[in-house]
Amino acid sequence: MLLRHRRVVVPELFAGATGRGDGAEAGVALLEGDLLARGFLLSAPLRRRLAAMPAQALAAAGTGLLEAVDAELGGGVPHVPLFRGFPGSVPADTAELYVLRVFSLLLQEPEQPCVLCARVGTVHPVSPCAHLVCRACWDGSDYSGCPICHRRIDPDDPFLRPSRPSVLKAGEKAATPSGPAALLTLGDADETARDLLTAMLTRQIPLPAGDLADLEVLVRHLGPDAVPDQIPVRENRAVVLACLLPAAPAEAMRDLLARYTDTATDVLRTLSVLAGGDAGLRLVPPRHRSLPRPVRRAVLAHLDALPFPALAEDMARHPQRWKRMAEVLHPFEHHRRHPDAALAFALIRRTPVYERTSLGRALRQTAARHPDVVRVDGERLRRVTFGTRLEEALRAGDRASALRLAAERPGELARRLVHLLRFAGPDGAEEVCARLRRAAPRVSPAVLVSALTQLRIPAGGTRLFLPRGGQSLIWYELDRRDPLPDAVRERAAEVIEGELLRRAGSLPPVGHAVLDEALADLAIPVAQRSASSALLRMSRGSVQPLPGGGRFRLFLHWMEPEGVRVDLDLSVAFYDEHGRYLGTCDYTDLRFAGDAAVHSGDLTSAPPPQGASEFVDLRPKRLREAGVRRAVVAVFSYNDVPFEKLQRGFAGVMRHPGGRLFDPAAVTQRFDLTGPAKVLVPFTMDLEAGTLRWADLNLSALWQTHYAHAYHKGLAEMAQALDAVFDAPGRPTLWDAARWHAAARAEEVTVRRRDGAFLRYRRGDGEDARAFAARLGFPEGADARVDDAGAGSAGFAALVRGNLEPATGADVFALYPWRLDATRLRLLDAAGLIGALAPAQEVTPGTRSAARSR
């Protein structure tokens, strides 16, 4: 975990032994060579520590380190495609191959001549599928599965014969690392873990699911003393509380709940984690486990102590989950001790309030204390919500009431900003902006950036929606809303950008900052709950160059659980300049346009321990010659098994690895297959521009079998929607976030342009942050063109490629960290860059106003 997140190595964790040796220079040199071949470099202190270890401990540390690096890059597992001689042995005619398979399946009989070649004695069944396979027609040295059904067969089956090992052909070169070597540094385990835990818990944007699992490990390793009192993100609080609550004394449970939860939904998140579910409440929850009596009592007491209007509204957001949770908490058994909690459960369960029962009478008495929230209608309870009152005011055209209600919750005001500006009209726009200016200091940066995005992009384009579901299903439609006047949009955008600049200015000054102009290709992350765990962490919509070298390789690997067959398919759909579908490269068409795209063959099962792998080789130049402009990569679960059932599953892209099937040194992106999805679109490609757009999205699973041709229309529409939304002029990017930091914190800024040139900007006398930010990036606004970034004096840097060396202690974001030393610098991810612009005041759990501001 420390290696993956911080590039920090603690040799003793791998070696399992301590002590000093007599020096093992030769062993360290060998390890250094193996790591360098994978794109990693040992720092001097780490090298000295390894050299001082006993030989046996060094061997264990080196083996463990290489295994960890390989696992991160996608190596360390057997990559064996259907055609072991891929790409050379892939048949030219997929249709002919299919006919031969069908003939063999339908007409071949035991102890009879082969129906294809008429030879006698060459037909035998293979294990375990028992299909009759002719050893003369089908090459056992090339196939790794059954030639008829393409399922894996027993490794000891006589049909399988040794194949020639992969070797470099004449003129081919072995793969080299995908960029400058990434620096591995020496660190202390607990200190680095504590630093990583603090970074996770203080960030303002939710963590991906994989990082939440890491967070749980860190909390259990370091204990409660390492956990700060203030945790901005609610999912993180739930994971922490679920770790701490069961082990706490009964009298401390309520204190923990009060410290880390201020809404009923926070409590539900915690209970979901305790039950084995997810903190984001996106996945279908498992059957709830019983809770110890002290935990039940503490939870009910805490719910009862919350303000009842907020309690009732929060529980109504997840009624089905709370109904199931009531079976565990038994709230009506304690309705006299916790009357508000019992009434809230009665509302979502629609419990009758009969006068003849003691429970009914008690609930009526409690409801009478909250007339603005609950009404008794006969024998039923009716709830009145904040959303209901706001929607009623909007429908009635009551501008004053609508703005007053929206302003009660700053986050709600920012989320509905564009709607409220349209509702208020040109005459009321200034009043909306005034309320926004007062509310903005209490709104999270992610919500402000989302509002700014809506303001900067004029109406009439494409709207993209990513509902909060475990599958991140995409929805897009044309924007048919009435456009806002430009003056209104610009006025509201000035308020938001001014607030973000103000927050950046409250951070420590840095004197000199260095920025990359290419940050404009990277999208700002505003939500990462459903993001895949990936080697290269980009936000959806970000663009990067395709791997170079004239051709590159896509890869997929998975292993199914015992007793469940899983058939995954790696597919690429191709489209021309006008979005017309040209075809696919998948199991139905192993070759597209000759060798412009070549598939390694369809394996239809992946039993342990070997699993299964599929590859696709792509040659962009030949694809362009075949009329292809865009390509969409997809991973399908053909037989409708969700990815979350896999024992392991990942995919990615690499530069062509020479004569090898898979080479970790060539990997440029690798991502995990997780969650309940069955159709994943990791990225799209624009072959004319030579770019890859990160999508990380899932399409709805429409049928029981999933394959590229059936989805080609949806894939094309999704790719077009992504391009339309993220290429829209004015959309905020990481360049804007970096510009806000630099303009507010630095007196001098150096911008590295795309062509490698450097422009120097100096703040003028009396020039404020807004004016300085407006100049950055424009050549005509620069004070000088310089030969060097002068990064050695930079206290802040935002880079795409981390090949500059900022000052010690600098805040640094780099998409490709490479040789940046995590022990010397404060490395930020994209979420950290935005999260640093959080509101100045602390969010104090237990106060409803703080919760509403989010």
Phi, psi at 134, each rounded to 5°: -85, 125
Measured CA to CA, the distance from residue 469 to residue 209 in angstroms comes to 13
Give me the residue label for tokens 């509403």: 852
Task: Output the pLDDT for position 641.
Answer: 93
Concatenate the DSSP letters of all residues of 496-554 into one string.
HHHHHHHHHHTSPP-EEEEEEGGGGGSBPPS--TTPPPBSS---TT-EEEPPSSS-EEE
Domain 543-726 listed as CATH 2.60.60.30: yes
Give the contacts of 698 (CB within 8 A, at least 6 positions apart).
471, 472, 473, 474, 675, 677, 678, 679, 680, 681
Give me the residue label for tokens 């494409």: 462
Measured CA to CA, the distance from residue 234 to residue 267 in angstroms comes to 10
Read off the tokens for 158.
């006589």
Give Cα separations from 765 to 697, 770, 793 (angstroms).
48, 14, 22
Task: Output the pLDDT for position 391.
Answer: 86
Measured CA to CA, the distance from residue 43 to residue 27 in angstroms comes to 16
Give the contacts of 774 (CB within 8 A, at least 6 positions apart).
781
Concatenate the DSSP letters of all residues of 388-426 into one string.
HHHHHHHHHT-HHHHHHHHHHSHHHHHHTHHHHHHHHHH
Read off the tokens for 789.
């970034």
Measured CA to CA, the distance from residue 716 to residue 683 in angstroms comes to 12
616 three-state secondary structure: strand
Which is nearest to 230 in space by CA: 274, 262, 268? 262
Measured CA to CA, the distance from residue 619 to residue 329 in angstroms comes to 60
Phi, psi at 780, each rounded to 5°: -70, -20
Task: Output the pLDDT for position 530.
Answer: 65
Burial 609-636 (b: 16+ CB within 10 A, else e): eebbbbbbbbbbebbeebebbbbbbbbb
Give the contacts of 323 (CB within 8 A, at least 6 positions apart).
348, 349
Give me the residue label for tokens 């004016």: 771
Measured CA to CA, the distance from residue 717 to residue 697 in angstroms comes to 13
Q: CA triplet 225, 230, 232: central angle to 5 degrees?
A: 130
Measured CA to CA, the distance from residue 143 to residue 160 in angstroms comes to 7
Phi-psi region of 658 (alpha: psi -120 to 50; beta: other; left: phi over 0): left
CA dihedral 846, 848, 850, 851 (to 10 degrees): 90
Burial 147-157 (b: 16+ CB within 10 A, else e): bbbbbbbeeee
Give Cα separations from 502 to 407, 431, 497, 687, 837 (angstroms).
21, 21, 8, 41, 9
Which is nearest to 14 in space by CA: 268, 184, 231? 184
The answer to whether 776 and 770 are in contact (CB under 8 A) is no
The answer to whether 731 and 450 are in contact (CB under 8 A) is no
Average pLDDT for runs of 10 along the chain of length 854: 90 67 76 89 92 88 91 89 94 94 94 94 94 95 95 93 66 62 89 92 83 91 90 91 90 90 93 86 70 90 93 91 90 91 92 90 91 85 81 87 89 92 90 94 93 87 69 72 90 96 95 96 82 85 91 96 95 96 96 96 94 97 96 95 93 90 90 88 95 88 82 91 90 96 96 95 94 94 93 95 92 91 90 88 38 34
Phi, psi at 758, each rounded to 5°: -120, 135
Q: Which CATH architecture describes the domain 75-165?
A: 2-Layer Sandwich (3.30)
Give Cα separations from 434 to 33, 281, 390, 492 (angstroms).
62, 35, 19, 9
Helix (H) or strand (E) holding 476: strand 475-478
Phi, psi at 589, each rounded to 5°: -140, 95
Q: Are strands 612-618 and 691-698 parallel, antiparallel or unpaired?
A: unpaired
The answer to whether 485 and 455 are in contact (CB under 8 A) is no
Neighbouring CB atoms inside 10 A of 369's CB total 12
Could you tell me the maximum CA-CA distance found in the chain, to the nearest angstrom?
A: 95
Helix (H) or strand (E) holding 123: strand 123-125
Which is nearest to 835 in space by CA: 741, 751, 750? 741
The answer to whether 670 and 651 are in contact (CB under 8 A) is yes
Measured CA to CA, the distance from residue 618 to residue 704 in angstroms comes to 29
Q: What is the DSSP letter of 208?
A: P
